[in-house]
Structure 1
Amino acid sequence: MTENNRTEDAFAFLGKGNGIRQLIRDFEWGATPLGRVETWPGSLRTATALLVQSSVPIVMLWGEHGIMIYNDAYSVFAGKRHPQLLGSKVREGWAEIADFNDHVMKVGLAGGTLAYRDQELTLHRRGVPEQVWMNLDYSPVLDEAGTPAGVIAIVVETTGEVVARQRIAREHERLLQLFAQAPTFMAMLRGENHVFEMLNPNYQALIGDRDVIGKPARDALPELADQGFWALLDQAYHTGEPVSRWSERLVIIRSPDIGPEERFIDFVYQPIKSDSGTVTHIFVQGSDVTERVIAEHRQRLLVNELNHRVKNTLASVQAITTQTLRGAMSLREASDSINDRILALSRAHNMLTAQNWTGADLSDVLDTALVLDGDPGRPRFDVTSPALRLEPHAALSLALALHELAINAAKFGALSRPDGRVDIVCETARLEDEEVFRMTWREKGGPPVQTPQRRGFGFHLLERALPVELSGKVRIHHRPEGLVFELSAPLSAIRESADLG
């Protein structure tokens, strides 16, 4: 038998095949502590034969130096370190993790085992440092005497899985941050009992300071029992179809000290399904739109009020025009009177608009109405009035009445003379069981007063319209020393209501 035949026979335990088998046949084992293959113990041959046939990456570390013998799958793992690793000492072959492998050798040769899951190591497999993760299982290999002679390692790289999990974890963390920072309220409910799994700060603000995580929604928010929300949640869960509502009324107890609060919300219940199509969760997302609903309600009221005021204003202008034309002696007189009265109406509207038509102070009504050309600052009026807030309709009616009195005084009464004056006294009093508002207009220093033979728009407004508008009474005295106008009305008819402030 030739030397070559003897060599072939020595490697017969490897079986047939190329790749790592051929490299093992060609390697100069006599230059290593293992010696020529012909001298290998049966345990080493058997272990080598087993590992080269495995499709799982396996490396055997023989003897105290940990001489490396591995299979084809491990050569792929080794990268550019293969084939130099074959027959090398493990501490030198993987010098960057020498301490780690030193520990492995000590434990394995002492008969111990080691197992690592997703073990992180930095290897130089392609000429540069590379962060990798692996599942590693180490077991001792016994010789013929039952003594640990080497260590066998099953090496399964998990870098791809670990990196994927890390990426998913980062994405999950990012989603949690978005969840927490979202401008809308959000919650995740699990199962048919709708157990709270997580919620963001806006949802917490909506329900108040209470711990709901891990609790069924019905137990966590009992005040919602008769408001229809649980039926909608059940509908979304059992049908697998999203449920949406807009401007839905919600009565919630966010604080026991405050009690039930009315809120309005837009929301959607979005079913979350598993791979099998079964609904597992309900994602709740929505917005507290209470301010929007209130604003829309106010807008509707304002539009309705605006329509009402426009109609009233047009009716007032029509009445002013009709009554003025009916009583005027000439077109010039009618034109001047109509202009003055519409201007007075405009000033009164401006005054109320500045207060958003919530009302006006009595002092502002007096200042607005008692504006006469040539008499800035009211030096010829002596006014006494209490602090009183008038409701809009009363303020407008009183302003127009005062304007008519002032115009009449300027044309025919006390203010037509340089020394003429007007005393105006406004007061509140209690008569029997009712609070009343009284205003007295008293002229003095003017020409002698006579009862007028003709009644124009001004007296129609003062004697007929004003008492109806204010639910009060009016008396006009044409005394020789000066005209006296007296108004008495229930305070409740002219004072601004408390809920309008």
Structure 2
Amino acid sequence: MTENNRTEDAFAFLGKGNGIRQLIRDFEWGATPLGRVETWPGSLRTATALLVQSSVPIVMLWGEHGIMIYNDAYSVFAGKRHPQLLGSKVREGWAEIADFNDHVMKVGLAGGTLAYRDQELTLHRRGVPEQVWMNLDYSPVLDEAGTPAGVIAIVVETTGEVVARQRIAREHERLLQLFAQAPTFMAMLRGENHVFEMLNPNYQALIGDRDVIGKPARDALPELADQGFWALLDQAYHTGEPVSRWSERLVIIRSPDIGPEERFIDFVYQPIKSDSGTVTHIFVQGSDVTERVIAEHRQRLLVNELNHRVKNTLASVQAITTQTLRGAMSLREASDSINDRILALSRAHNMLTAQNWTGADLSDVLDTALVLDGDPNPPRFDVTSPALRLEPHAALSLALALHELAINAAKFGALSRPDGRVDIVCETARLEDEEVFRLTWREKGGPPVQTPQRRGFGFHLLERALPVELSGKVRIHHRPEGLVFELSAPLSAIRESADLG
């Protein structure tokens, strides 16, 4: 038998085939610590025969130096490191992870095993550092005497799966951030019992500081039992169709100290389906629109109130015109009086409009009413008044009444003379069991006063309309030294309701 035939027979354990088998046949094993193949122990031949036939990437590290023998699948994993890795010492073949492989050899040759899942390593398989992840299983290979002579490694690269999981995790984190930062409230409910899986801060703010994660919605929010929300959730879950509502009334207990609160919400229950089409979750998304609903309600009230006020204003203008014409001595006098009174009405309206018709301060009412157009003299009113907020109707009535008193004083009373003055005293007092508001108008320094022979629009307003409007009483004294006007009305009839304590 020739030398070539003996060599060919020495590799008979490899079986037939090319690829790594041929490389093993052609390799100069005599130049390695393993020596010529003819000298290999049976255990090394058997282990080599097994690994070259496997479709799983396997590398064997034989002897104390870890001489590398591997299969075709491992050669693919090795990249450009193949075929130089074949027959090399593992520490030199994978120099960038020498410490890692030193530990593997130490444990394996001591008879131990190692297993890693998604082990992260940096390899230079293509000439540049590359971050990879692998599942690695190491076990000792025993010689004929039962002593560990090498280490066999099953290497399965999981880089693709790990990168995909990382990408999914990043996307999930991004979605969670969007979920948390969304301007609307959101929650995810699982199963037919609608168990809370997650919710964002806006949903938490809607329901108050309570832990609902992992709880069925009916248990987590028991106060919603009779408000129809559970029936809508069941409908979305069983039909697979989204359910939406707008400006829906919600009574929620966000804090035990505060008790039930009324809110209004827009929301949609969106079913989430599996690949088979079965509903698995309900995604809840919506907005707390309480402020919008209140504003819309207020707007409707304002429109209705505006219609009412326009009608009242037209009625006031009609009354001013009719009464003034009836008592006027000339067309010029009637025109001047009508214009003056309508301007007073306009100023009072402007004062209330600036406050959105919620009311007016008594001081503003006095300032608005005591304006005398064309009066060259500085104000000649001595005013004493408390801080008091009047409701709109009372503010308007009182402003018009004070204006009539001022006009009368300027034409016929104290303000018709340079030294004349008017004392105005406003006060609140308690009479028996009722709080009352009192206003006293006292003129001095004017011409002698006589009881008028005819009553015009001004006195009609003061003596008849004002007591009705304010549920009060009026007295007018025509004293020689000056006119005195006295008004007394229940404080509850003129004070803005928000101030009632």
Q: TM-score, normalised by structure 2?
A: 0.90
Would you say the 8 A contact 1:370–1:378 is kept in 2? no
Label 1:453 to 1:117 Cα distance change in 2 as closer, same or farther (>3 A). Answer: same
Label 1:40 to 1:347 Cα distance change in 2 as closer, same or farther (>3 A). Answer: same
Would you say the 8 A contact 1:109–1:148 is kept in 2? yes
Would you say the 8 A contact 2:437–2:488 is kept in 1? yes
Single out whichever of 341-350 and 473-482 deviates more from structure 2: 473-482
Label 1:298 to 1:499 Cα distance change in 2 as closer, same or farther (>3 A). Answer: farther
- Counterpart-to-counterpart distance in 1, 2:115 and 2:123: 19
- Counterpart-to-counterpart distance in 2, 1:429 and 1:71: 107
Label 1:154 to 1:434 Cα distance change in 2 as closer, same or farther (>3 A). Answer: closer
Would you say the 8 A contact 1:362–1:395 is kept in 2? yes
1:70 positional shift: 1.1
Single out whichever of 64-73 and 201-210 deviates more from structure 2: 201-210
Would you say the 8 A contact 1:348–1:368 is kept in 2? yes
Name the SS of the counterpart of 1:280 in structure 2. Answer: strand
Name the SS of the counterpart of 2:249 in structure 1. Answer: strand
**Cα distance per residue 1:311-342 (max 9 Å; x no partner):** 22232223223333343333322221122111
1:169 positional shift: 1.7
Name the SS of the counterpart of 1:305 in structure 2. Answer: helix
1:446 positional shift: 4.0
Label 1:180 to 1:376 Cα distance change in 2 as closer, same or farther (>3 A). Answer: farther
**Cα distance per residue 1:164-198 (max 9 Å; x no partner):** 11222222222222223333322222222222222
Label 1:47 to 1:430 Cα distance change in 2 as closer, same or farther (>3 A). Answer: closer
1:114 positional shift: 1.9
Superposed CA RMSD: 2.7
Would you say the 8 A contact 1:371–1:378 is kept in 2? no
1:299 positional shift: 2.4
1:423 positional shift: 4.3
Single out whichever of 447-456 and 44-53 deviates more from structure 2: 447-456
- Counterpart-to-counterpart distance in 2, 1:119 and 1:474: 97
1:496 positional shift: 2.5
Would you say the 8 A contact 2:10–2:38 is kept in 1? yes
Label 1:161 to 1:430 Cα distance change in 2 as closer, same or farther (>3 A). Answer: closer
Count how many residue pairs are aligned between Structure 1 and Structure 2.
501
Label 1:286 to 1:376 Cα distance change in 2 as closer, same or farther (>3 A). Answer: farther
1:57 positional shift: 0.8
1:410 positional shift: 2.1
Label 1:349 to 1:46 Cα distance change in 2 as closer, same or farther (>3 A). Answer: same
- Counterpart-to-counterpart distance in 1, 2:64 and 2:425: 118
Label 1:323 to 1:83 Cα distance change in 2 as closer, same or farther (>3 A). Answer: same
- Counterpart-to-counterpart distance in 2, 1:378 and 1:306: 36
Single out whichever of 346-355 and 151-160 deviates more from structure 2: 346-355
Label 1:435 to 1:95 Cα distance change in 2 as closer, same or farther (>3 A). Answer: closer
Percent identical among aligned pairs is: 99
Q: TM-score, normalised by structure 1?
A: 0.90
- Counterpart-to-counterpart distance in 2, 1:69 and 1:116: 21
**Cα distance per residue 1:186-219 (max 9 Å; x no partner):** 2222222222222222222222222222222222
Label 1:68 to 1:462 Cα distance change in 2 as closer, same or farther (>3 A). Answer: same
**Cα distance per residue 1:374-415 (max 9 Å; x no partner):** 657875444454544322112211211222222223223333
Q: Does 1:224 align with 2:249?
A: no
Label 1:430 to 1:170 Cα distance change in 2 as closer, same or farther (>3 A). Answer: closer
Would you say the 8 A contact 2:389–2:499 is kept in 1? no
- Counterpart-to-counterpart distance in 2, 1:35 and 1:206: 78
- Counterpart-to-counterpart distance in 1, 2:337 and 2:160: 93
**Structure 1 stretches of 4+ moved >6 Å:** none
Structure 1 unaligned runs (5+)?
Answer: none
Name the SS of the counterpart of 1:241 in structure 2. Answer: coil
**Cα distance per residue 1:239-265 (max 9 Å; x no partner):** 222222222222222222222222222
